[in-house]
Amino acid sequence: MSDITTAATEVEQPGAAPEREYAASLWGDAWRQLRRNPIFLISLAWIMVVTSMAVFPKLWTSIDPRACNVSQARLPPSSEHWFGTSIVGCDYYAHAIYGARQSLIIAVASTVGVVVLGGLLGMLAAFYGRWTDTLISRLVDIFLGVPFLLGAVVFLTVLKIRNVWTVALVLILLGWTTIARIMRGGVLSTKTQDYVQAARALGGSNSRLMFKHILPNAIAPVVVYSTILLGSFVAIEATLTFLGVGLQAPAITWGVMITQHEVYFLQLPGLLLFPAGLLFFTVLAFILMGDALRDALDPRLR
């Protein structure tokens, strides 16, 4: 069961065209369900659009976001400046495009770090049990006792350097616990399966058992949660910036745009609504994608 793959074989019937019959596979069945799910496809399309903004911003605009003219500050949207201009005369559409980059870098770096750290500790705790499980579980309890947002504010206030990597490091430090618990539960239910016991009886090493047989069958809940976590970290980055402990100008992020222009909402609501709208739809897309993955990867919901 550990090395389940999607195989396709042709079955010919007299007088009928050949049909393709697919072997059962958790990930194969999930993908066949996801590609028929309009919510998943729309969410995926939006995330791809935002990712292209972050990776290839010049595909979306040729304007330098730092080319500002104070005499043209706070202009309303027009054919020349689609989203208007900022309080210092920068093209606001260019800021919105380039603002996706650092927000996504923080979200991706934080999620990868959380999955690696929490997943490894959770797997070690469940696989070895006894004092290893006790030690890691108590460590999880200690970190869970620190309120996430308050802890992030305190750590970032103490740090003198606030950039993409320091913010991501703080988010990893405070955010790995849930992944550890999810992975621990998955490994506990998987390591007692017959195919794992058979591999152990055949002389499989602990590392082979964990990474070859257990991990592929315990990773699905982690994938679902990490997808939702991506959106959460995008929102958290903007929240920390709004509170004054995240990235600050001249950095260009949606959080910085919201922070700098929220006082102008009544005069020029677009200065707040454009970055807030991009932030909202990006977070929503990750959450909806995570929900769709959860439904597709849980056979009981089919």
Quick check: is 36 in a domain? yes
Residue 211 maps to a domain = yes
**Is the dihedral angle over the CA atoms 155, 141, 192, 302 positive or is it negative?**
negative
Residues whose CB falls within 8 Å of the CB of residue 147, separated by 6 or more in sequence, listed in order? none
**CA 262 centroid distance within chain:** 26
Q: Report the CATH number at residue 70.
A: 1.10.3720.10
Q: DSSP label at 212?
A: I
Task: Answer yes or no: is 69 within a domain.
Answer: yes
76 C-beta neighbours (distance < 10 Å), count: 12
- Taking a C-beta distance cutoff of 8 angstroms, is the pair 60, 53 a contact? yes
Report yes or no on 148 lying in a domain.
Answer: yes
Contacts of residue 215, defined as CB under 8 A and 6 or more positions apart, other chains included, come to 123
Domain annotation covers residue 136: yes
Q: Does residue 158 sit within a domain?
A: yes
Which tokens belong to 169?
């490091």
Q: Is 3 within a domain?
A: no
- pLDDT per position as a tens digit, 117-161: 999 999 999 888 889 889 999 999 999 888 898 999 999 998 878
pLDDT in tens, the chain (302 residues): 444 443 444 344 444 444 444 445 667 777 888 888 899 999 999 999 999 999 999 999 988 888 888 888 888 888 888 898 888 888 999 999 999 999 999 999 999 999 999 999 999 998 888 898 899 999 999 998 888 989 999 999 988 788 899 999 999 999 999 999 999 998 888 888 888 888 888 877 878 888 888 888 888 889 999 999 999 999 999 999 988 888 887 888 999 999 888 888 888 888 899 999 999 999 999 999 988 888 887 756 55
Q: Is residue 2 part of a domain?
A: no
Domain count, the chain: 1
DSSP-derived secondary structure letter, 35:
T
Segments forming the whole domain that contains residue 158: 8-301
